[in-house]
Structure 1
Amino acid sequence: MLKQKYQKIIMVLLLCLSILLIVAGCSSDSVQKSNSTAAYAVTDSQGHKLYFKEKPQRIISMSISTDEILIDLVPSSRIAAFSRLVDDPGISNIVERAQSVGSRVDGQSSEAIMALHPDLILIPDFVKPEVIQSLRDMNLQVYVYKTPKSMEDVRQCIRFLGEAVGEKERGDMMVTAMDEHLKKVQ
């Protein structure tokens, strides 16, 4: 009787293990398939790889610096929300232009961000890791960029953000225009 009880326990454990292996195998196949059908992929500053089948159409910017870059990278119809600081004329250079995008986010409520149905969130590396992880845990595409500390960092940031939103050429053009403007100023 004791032997039969152990046999049942072993059979149940083997059945659970088999189901677990099948499920794990299926999910890894689906991830590989989604990655292989991606139109493009980018890696953020934290090493997370994001895959896109098409250019993001509902982008959320979580920082004033990204707001000001994003508005020149993509049409406002592709922007779901800007940071709340975009409306402050003491900080923002795009107050009037930003009015074409109706929503604002402050990064405090993951649920409010989720309600906007973003297909890409651009977020600086100074945001608390638990906020970033919370957004990733909701299966949102979160691109964390390194906060620029030099002019070369600014150039790189614009290029990286251009790649993330599917506008690499536009990002390169922005950097070229910025450099030409800086030459004139000097």
Structure 2
Amino acid sequence: MKRNLKILSFILAMIFITGIFGACSSDTNQQASDTTKAIDTSVESTATDKYPLTLEDSKGTKVTIKAKPEKIVSLPLGTCEMLMSLVDKSRIAAMTYYADDAKVSNIADEAKGVGKRIESNAEKIIALQPDLVFLDKMADANVIKQLRDANLTVFMLNTPSNIKQVEDNLELIGKIVGEAAKAKDIIAWMEQKLKAVNDRLELMTDDQKQTVLDYSEMGTTSGKGTNFDDIVTRAGLMNPVSKEGLEGWPELSKEMIIKYNPQIIILPSWYYDAKVSFYTLNEKIKGDKALADIKAVKNNKVISVPYNHISSTSQYAVLAVEDISKVAYPGLFK
């Protein structure tokens, strides 16, 4: 059973990479909604990459892009978010259905009317006759084979587990689609956002940093090597799970919560199980007498932040750094 929980948690984390909801309000549940518009790089294409272009994908396969892609299909949501800021919308043939879900997507408004919506179905993708298909490591091996057997150009991307890897993906995708200059502009925007937060935190010492845990509906948390750990670290917080050397998404026991005694507990704002919500999970924690003395519970710091930010594997992940830092250290952002 424990193994099944870990596997399901891993799958959820890879699809959405742990999620949480907007700069906190002052009410009991500390929840707020937020919307994000796709980044407008506002620069003309100055592509210098020449085609055919041969690059190695995340699986080690050498892929040749014969010409500048004009009919692109993307299944990873993070890649869809990047493409919306990199290429003309007419070049996007299809995107994941999640692009339209404002709870997880940063491009829900901008994506309306852009291309078709597609799932991991080889026949449907082949029917579109795209000149480029972006997939990630979650993709079914049989689907990949069918697409390549149909002579489609399939490029497998790494699923980022930190912001540096997001930037690496942006640079790579920009090169593939002939929009390297736009990719550099987006990366520069990311670095500007990160610097703005870091400038406010630079005088903070380790003993001033607040401790934070995330707690999922599956009873797991995020450790070393996860997007969550990278984001909260950049936001000036300490993740005791990571500090203890636990990797991935270990189960979070009541004893561990008591041991770590976090100052902030972050809950998701999106749930796989429709019967679970921020409110039910929050009440479960606050109603447990054994957790009554936990700092986050005593100080009403069981919170959530925008899920489409913290779960993003695109440029919008930097907004989660800003979200969490503002929640933890509101005085620094006045």
TM-score range, shorter chain: 0.7 to 0.9
Q: Give 1:182's match in structure 2, choosing from 194, 212, 216.
A: 194
Q: Which runs of 5+ in 1 are unaligned?
A: 1-36
Q: Distance in 2 between matches of 1:98 and 1:77?
A: 11
Q: Distance in 2 between matches of 1:129 and 1:114?
A: 15
Matching of residues 19-168 of structure 1 within 5 Å: 38-107=51-120, 109-168=121-180
Give the drift of 1:115.
1.2
Q: With structure 1 as the length reference, what TM-score do the two structures score?
A: 0.75
Q: Which amino acid aligns with 2:58?
A: S
Q: Distance in 1 between matches of 2:185 and 2:75?
A: 23
Structure 2 partner of 1:6: none
The two structures, once aligned, show a CA RMSD in angstroms of 1.6
Is the contact made by 2:157 and 2:169 (CA closer than 8 Å) also made in structure 1?
Answer: yes
Q: Which runs of 5+ in 2 are unaligned?
A: 1-49, 199-334
Q: Distance in 2 between matches of 1:102 and 1:46?
A: 27
Q: Which amino acid aligns with 1:83?
A: T
Q: Distance in 2 between matches of 1:169 and 1:40?
A: 17
Q: Distance in 2 between matches of 1:91 and 1:118?
A: 26
Q: Which structure 1 residue ranges, 4+ long, deviate > 4 Å from structure 2?
A: none
> 3-state SS of the aligned residue for 1:95?
coil
Q: Distance in 2 between matches of 1:100 and 1:185?
A: 35
**Where is the helix percentage greater, Structure 1 or Structure 2?**
1
> 3-state SS of the aligned residue for 1:46?
coil
- Cα shift readout 1:101-151 (whole Å, capped 9, x = no counterpart): 1301111x2111111110000111121222212211111100100100011
Task: Determine what percentage of the aligned residue pairs are the same residue.
Answer: 36
- Distance of aligned partners of 1:59 and 1:102 in 2 relative to their CA distance in 1, 3 Å threshold: closer
Larger radius of gyration: 1
Q: With structure 2 as the length reference, what TM-score do the two structures score?
A: 0.43
Give the drift of 1:38.
4.0
Is the contact made by 1:83 and 1:105 (CA closer than 8 Å) also made in structure 2?
Answer: yes
Instruction: Answer 1 or 2: higher relative contact order, Cα 8 Å, separation at least 6.
Output: 2
Q: Distance in 1 between matches of 2:187 and 2:115?
A: 27
> 3-state SS of the aligned residue for 2:109?
helix
- Cα shift readout 1:123-181 (whole Å, capped 9, x = no counterpart): 11121222212211111100100100011111111111111212222212211111111
Q: Which amino acid aligns with 2:97?
A: R
Q: Which amino acid aligns with 1:133?
A: K
Q: Distance in 2 between matches of 1:118 and 1:56?
A: 9
Structure 1 partner of 2:297: none
Q: Distance in 1 between matches of 2:118 and 2:104?
A: 16
Q: Distance in 2 between matches of 1:99 and 1:54?
A: 27
> 3-state SS of the aligned residue for 2:93?
strand
Q: Which amino acid aligns with 1:153?
A: Q
- More moved, 74-83 vs 50-59: 50-59
Q: Which amino acid aligns with 1:149?
A: S
> 3-state SS of the aligned residue for 2:189?
helix
